[in-house]
Structure 1
Amino acid sequence: MRILSHTLGILTNPDKEWKAIRADKHSFAQVFLSHVPILALIPCISGYIGVTQVGFRVGDNIVKLTAGSAAALAILTYISMLIGVYLFGEFINWMAKTYMVEGDEPTRHYEGTALAVFVTTPIFLVGFIGLYPNLWLNAAVTFAAAAYSIYLIYEGIPILMNLSKEQSFMYATSVVTIGLVLLVTVRVGSVILWSMGVGPVYVD
């Protein structure tokens, strides 16, 4: 699979792109490695630049993080994103049998991982907003990307998995639920790391 293939198409013409993704029939490792390690760099690098060079407003002050602190947080964020998308794909694949997805195990594994990769693509791409770390702007843009990701789940499952509308709706709803659980888990993990001392250090 070509690096970052289908990335633009999934945003501009998702129906056509889901069909092309289904026809690819690559391994789950190929679709994961050709996209996620690259896309996950966008929010991490953008966020690092934003909090160290631009800063964010707290009251009347502009606050920045030290380079070392920001780098540590960026690396942890990057690792958590890789693990998160991988686990997301594994859960999707695990649920495939429950919803009677056809095909052998390698095919289902590819389709589950592909779904996880491409529905998280919009969230990765809007990571550029981290260059300007304004809380409300970042929240609004991320929310819009997440909403589109949910749309991609409901739009993509019947095409990618070749399921009926009824099966697809239940499967997609389960996938969205798993995504939310993983998000909460990552947040809780962040709080634990902060309590252990792996948190932001501000520039004096």
Structure 2
Amino acid sequence: MTIPEDTYTTTAAQTSPAAGAPMSSLLDRVLAMLLRPGDTWLQIERENPGIASVYSRYLIFLAAIPAVAGFIGYSLVGMGAFGVSVRVPIVQGLVGMVVGYVLSLAMVLVMALVANALAPRFGGQTQLPRAFQLIAYGATAGWLGGVFSAVPALAMLGVLAALYSVYLIYRGVPVLMRVPGERAVGYTAALIVCGIVAGLVVGLVTSLVTPRPGAFAGVGGAGSLGGPSVAGPGVNITLPGTGISIDTAKVEAANRRMEEAQARGDTQAAGQAMGDMMSAALGGKGAAPLAPEALRALLPETLGSMPRTAVEARSDAAMGMQFTNVSAQYSEGERLIEVRMQDIGAVPALAIGMAAWSRSTLDSETPEEVERVYRRDGVAFKESYRKDGTSASLVMLLPNGVLLEGSGNLPMDDLRAALKAVPTGQVAALKRPS
């Protein structure tokens, strides 16, 4: 299967958002999708755009709506009840905005891959560009509904808009994916289940840079909100604010392997190809992950006088990528410290969310709390603590991509002293398998 270049037929050029005046055409397409979905899907079916064109001339604008509105609502307006308003710190809100925006763009392609893979199971046809159009344009109402996040009290109205997007996708399924009408409901339901899972992934990664209640709230740095830069005729897409590049040629190759495996009934090979497609859609597998046992071996038995009371080391795989995480708890009386080491250097998309703060510097102080972000000897530090000594958090991003975090219900000076027992030099010296 070949992904078309950024070209349109003559008919499409008259009404498509990729032709003529971009903003005028964009608004026309948005209104048409909302008011005349049946006719609009037929029009889209006659168009022949590349994935990069839909990204750069449609998605980058609509996906920014919920991201920017969420920043306004939670960092500027604030949320709360009973006369108490809580606001996400400005820098943290900017990071959450960028991370959510970038991952939303990436997840459109991931969902298109899922839609393309599901189509044959419901009597439809596999054609990745059509699946991408289905997800990108079908989500229009959901993108617009994100504007309600600007007023947190109205955010639930965005759910109603998202439900209308489900209807839009349902109307487009028979047209673009050639799924028989009697099976369109089942196909759409399967897509929604996968979309919920994708949404959980986006929410999980975004939450990594969103402050938690109390002194463990973090800080972050913002990236840029430019559009995708395209190298070549719809082959490479660089997601804005990141160094992640989606190689659509790799996506196409993995898609062909999956179709061939499905044709010969090789479910194992088809599953592997699906993982490769999702990995390519999220910027590739990255480097080989560090072994969990290598990280666990560097967790000390004690932190000062506090013995280790629990430890866990695990490696998980999702969407063609591997995650390594080790953690331990140390306690003595009512004092508790949790130490966690996560190998984010092996996962490009995850590293964006978890280490966005490392590109910033910050020195913020209130009567109750202190938050700082700084660099020293090639290591990025993020620390936050309450002045009354009831809680503290210290995070270090090491040069090899290992994120070391310590947190506990004790003063920051005591936490720093305790974490000296962790051999950070040895952790930073760990080499990835070739």
Please indicate the TM-score interval, normalised by the length of the shorter structure: 0.7 to 0.9
Please list, as runs of the form range in 1=range in 2, the aligned pairs for 1:108-187 lying within 5 A after superposition.
Answer: 108-134=127-153, 137-139=154-156, 141-187=157-203
Shift of 1:34: 1.8
Amino acid at match of 2:69: S
| Residues 44 and 146 (structure 1), Cα distance of their counterparts in 2 relative to 1, 3 Å cut | same
Residue 121 of structure 2: aligned partner: 98
Amino acid at match of 2:185: F
Question: What TM-score results when the alignment is normalised by the length of structure 1?
Answer: 0.83
Amino acid at match of 2:138: V
| Residues 55 and 193 (structure 1), Cα distance of their counterparts in 2 relative to 1, 3 Å cut | closer
Q: Could you give the per-residue CA deviations for residues 9-31 of structure 1, whole angstroms, max 9, x where no partner exists?
A: 11001000010011112223222
Q: Is 1:45 matched with 2:45? A: no
The alignment partner of 2:29 has SS state of coil
Shift of 1:138: 0.6
Distance 1:28 1:98 in 2: 24
| Conservation of the 8 A alpha-carbon contact between 1:44 and 1:74 | yes
Unaligned runs of 5+ in 2: 1-17, 221-363, 367-434
The alignment partner of 1:143 has SS state of helix
Q: Could you give the per-residue CA deviations for residues 62-109 of structure 1, whole angstroms, max 9, x where no partner exists?
A: 22232211111111111111111121111112223333434xx6xx11
| Conservation of the 8 A alpha-carbon contact between 2:209 and 2:219 | no
Distance 1:78 1:200 in 2: 18
Distance 1:66 1:43 in 2: 18
User: Quick one: which of 62, 85, 95 aligns to 2:85?
Assistant: 62
The alignment partner of 2:80 has SS state of strand
Larger % of strand: which? 2
| Conservation of the 8 A alpha-carbon contact between 2:66 and 2:147 | yes
Range with bigger deviation, 11-20 or 180-189:
180-189
Residue 11 of structure 1: aligned partner: 34
Distance 1:200 1:9 in 2: 41
Distance 2:148 2:45 in 1: 31
Amino acid at match of 2:155: N
- Answer with 1 or 2: which has the greater Rg: 2
| Conservation of the 8 A alpha-carbon contact between 2:123 and 2:180 | no
User: Quick one: which of 103, 106, 119 aligns to 1:80?
Assistant: 103
- Tell me the C-alpha RMSD between the 2 structures: 2.7
Distance 1:177 1:169 in 2: 12
Larger % of helix: which? 1
Shift of 1:199: 4.7
Range with bigger deviation, 39-48 or 165-174:
165-174
**Which has the bigger relative contact order, CA under 8 A and spacing at least 6?**
1
**Structure 1 runs of 4+ with >6 Å offset:** 195-198, 200-203
Q: Could you give the per-residue CA deviations for residues 134-174 of structure 1, whole angstroms, max 9, x where no partner exists?
A: 2xx211x1210121011112211112223321232332222
Distance 1:176 1:56 in 2: 29
| Conservation of the 8 A alpha-carbon contact between 2:100 and 2:202 | no
Distance 2:54 2:123 in 1: 23
| Conservation of the 8 A alpha-carbon contact between 1:157 and 1:172 | yes
Question: What TM-score results when the alignment is normalised by the length of structure 2?
Answer: 0.42
Distance 2:71 2:163 in 1: 25
Residue 9 of structure 2: aligned partner: none
The alignment partner of 1:46 has SS state of helix
Shift of 1:187: 2.6
The alignment partner of 2:85 has SS state of strand
Distance 1:78 1:9 in 2: 24
Residue 265 of structure 2: aligned partner: none
Unaligned runs of 5+ in 1: none
Distance 2:163 2:91 in 1: 33
The alignment partner of 1:29 has SS state of helix
